[in-house]
Structure 1
Amino acid sequence: MAETATKKERVAKEGSHPLVAIDDGYAQTKLYGQGPDGKIVKRVLRSSVRIGSHGLGSFAGDGAIGLWQTEEGNRYTVSDEIEAEDPRFTDFHLSPINRVLVNHALSTAGFGGVQVDIVTGLPVKEFFKDQRKDEERIQRKRENLQRGAFSRSAGVEAPVLADIQVGCQAIAAYVDWALDDELKTRNDTGKTIAIVDIGGRTTDVAVVVGGRSIDHGRSGTADVGVLDVYKGVLDRVKARFELDDDSLPLSLMNEAVRTGSMQLFGRPNDVAEIVSDVVGQVQERALREIQRRLGRAATLQAVVFVGGGSALFKDIASAYPNGVMAEDPEFANARGLYKYFASRRRG
């Protein structure tokens, strides 16, 4: 408690709260921004949560691990070691599950008990409505995060969300492409650029014209992403190893997709062929959706690929002669959200 109090006092003396951007995706929750000590913090957690208390306790016997309770009274367990809820539902970004994941991510990054300003995002199709910002949905996301989420784990505190802003995820990635870490222009913003953000559930396309406007005719969101890979691999692995009644935690699925190996029955099992086949199929689906909006993209300066799916589909950018893989694509949205709102703070 003394450490938490010190953090609170430090923030108060500075006269402003740390600013943290949160890319709260369906598969991963990424944080990028100022830590309580003023240094840049960068963290990624898998969005693995399930309603209820699932009995994960510490060896010390001092209570549950990863247990949260919302203002509505429901309890949720956040852990890679459980079979996660499927987050692919329409109002995920407005849900208690989303709120719990945001609070858990901030808490594990050192913001427990600390006042913090946050900026989160919405996919293109949720951020805009009839070519205008969907102010109602943006406000609903703010209100959802403003409602309480409380840790029920010993020694863990929830953060104090002082200010909540909401941006557009793919456009945030454009800001990351346009500005360097010093918030100075690093790429030509006078051209027309397409940002392709392949996330957990969705693939977002945002065509930015001259750094000032969005071409809604070629922008939008398709329901295909990394979680389709996880689902495909899960189905094939269960069939191969006859695991119909066994649940597989997200950590195990992530291991399989990242390494091509899965620890089952106490030993590693080669599933690289399954993973390669499923990744290829989902990548092809994502590319079809991108091509429906961009065609061959001949008139664009660049097609910039970002998001966890772009990192997984390593050769997808090569489908376009002007395709570019962003540096550290998984963090492009979070970095861009941070850069945009940090630049506004500077005036």
Structure 2
Amino acid sequence: MSKAKTSEQVSSTTAPQTKPLLVAIDDGYAQTKLYGEGPDGKMITLKMRSSVRPGRHGLTALSGRGDVGSYTTEEGEKFTASEEIEAENTQFDTFHVSTMNRVLVTHALISAGYGGLDVDLVTGLPVDDYFIDSEKNNARIEAKRANLGKGVSSTNPTERPVASLKSITVNCQAVAAFVDYITGDDLEERADPTGKFAVVDIGGRTTDVAVIVNGESLDNSMSGTANIGVLDVYSAVNRAIGNRFDFHDRLPTNTIDAAVRTGKINLWGDDHDVTDLVKGVVLEQEGKIAREVERRLGSAASLNKVLFVGGGSALFKTIAEHFRNGHMAEDPEFSNARGMFKYARLFA
């Protein structure tokens, strides 16, 4: 996949648009993933922490070109979106229809090089938000569309213009991941959808389970959402490190994220190895999630496959081994975004 271009590069190297570019965004509680077509026909991918907080937070470009990642919503709220700040907690029920979410989507589009361009946006909702009483939750779907359709302006519009959203579509995240599994990049079927498949989407705040029958229907009795995910790992790692080094600070999320990824952390100017702490926490949380999935699926003997997707699946590398028919998706962090893009292409 090609690396995301900056908005300056895109605007200076591409001809005027003839049609909107299709872009899918998986706007999770912990990470925001983007998968879309670029002006040059190549695919663009972007992964960033869902790091945003209200107000201006003093991030100024050294070039003197203005604030970095500063935005104002149509309602007049001011936000800063950047991995360099300590974010506000995104773990609240209305996150997917919030101004905070809207700013993160805007920031992702600019960061991936879509500033100033026309975009057809595809995004998603967790299972329990997308469906209610065996039917689509049209009120929540429309609320998300309406929220994303409202304005967000950059405080530095010359250098960081926002994308123009020409259409907004909302899909079910876990169902999109199933589309990604059975459909290749050429949009041809690459796996037989016949039978019963469970998609386990481990995200930042939630773990979604969607049981799909013959690629056409959802088994509601086995599907649903549990409030456990990657951010629980971060909180537990923070506590474990604090206990070992005798402090009670809430460490910056990017510090904890680095510790989880590398097993190392810098405290008071010195590097420390916390590999054992991280492994212990990851195994504990992996077990909790596996048991939550088992409560819904049992042994999964009646299922063709239990497919693990999402950022949590990338972290819990052995979680698929808890089930005899468990399967880790290829590049699981992008399964939702890639699936939403494929779905939009298939049914355009």
Cα deviations by residue, 1:115-163 (Å, 9 ceiling, x for unpaired): 1001000000000010000011000000000111111146111111110
Counterpart Cα distance in 1 of 2:220 and 2:289? 19
- Counterpart of 1:252 in structure 2 is 255
TM-aligned CA distance change 1:179 to 1:2, over 3 Å: closer
Instruction: In structure 2, give the amino acid aligned to 1:28.
Output: Q
Task: Indicate whether 1:294 and 2:297 are aligned.
Answer: yes
Shift in Å, 1:232:
0.8
Task: List runs of 5+ in structure 2 lacking aligned partners.
Answer: 1-6
Question: Structure 1-normalised TM-score?
Answer: 0.94
| Alpha-carbon contact 1:82-1:248 (below 8 Å) kept | no
Of 150, 156, 173 in structure 1, the residue corresponding to residue 160 of structure 2 is 156
Corresponding residue SS for 2:347: helix
Of 310, 315, 326 in structure 2, the residue corresponding to residue 323 of structure 1 is 326
Corresponding residue SS for 1:111: coil
Of 170, 173, 176 in structure 1, the residue corresponding to residue 174 of structure 2 is 170
| Alpha-carbon contact 1:49-1:84 (below 8 Å) kept | yes
Counterpart Cα distance in 1 of 2:324 and 2:9? 53
Counterpart Cα distance in 2 of 1:54 and 1:291? 43
Of 233, 237, 241 in structure 1, the residue corresponding to residue 237 of structure 2 is 233
Counterpart Cα distance in 2 of 1:242 and 1:99? 39
Task: Indicate whether 1:10 and 2:16 are aligned.
Answer: yes
Shift in Å, 1:182:
0.5
Question: Bigger CA drift: 332-341 or 279-288?
Answer: 279-288
What is the RMSD of the two structures over their aligned residues, measured on CA atoms? 1.7
Shift in Å, 1:302:
0.6
Corresponding residue SS for 1:98: helix
- Counterpart of 1:184 in structure 2 is 188
| Alpha-carbon contact 1:8-1:115 (below 8 Å) kept | no
Question: Structure 2-normalised TM-score?
Answer: 0.94
Corresponding residue SS for 2:113: helix
Shift in Å, 1:243:
4.2
Task: List runs of 5+ in structure 1 lacking aligned partners.
Answer: none
Counterpart Cα distance in 2 of 1:326 and 1:81? 30
Q: Aligned runs of 1:56-95 on 2, under 5 Å?
A: 56-95=59-98
Corresponding residue SS for 2:169: strand
Q: Determine what percentage of the aligned residue pairs are the same residue.
A: 51
Counterpart Cα distance in 2 of 1:114 and 1:249? 34
Corresponding residue SS for 2:16: helix
Runs of 4+ residues over 4 Å off in structure 1: 1-9
Shift in Å, 1:277:
1.5
Corresponding residue SS for 1:90: coil
Task: Indicate whether 1:275 and 2:278 are aligned.
Answer: yes
Shift in Å, 1:242:
4.1
Corresponding residue SS for 1:53: coil
Task: Indicate whether 1:24 and 2:13 are aligned.
Answer: no
Instruction: In structure 1, give the amino acid aligned to 2:326.
Output: G
Counterpart Cα distance in 1 of 2:38 and 2:265? 35
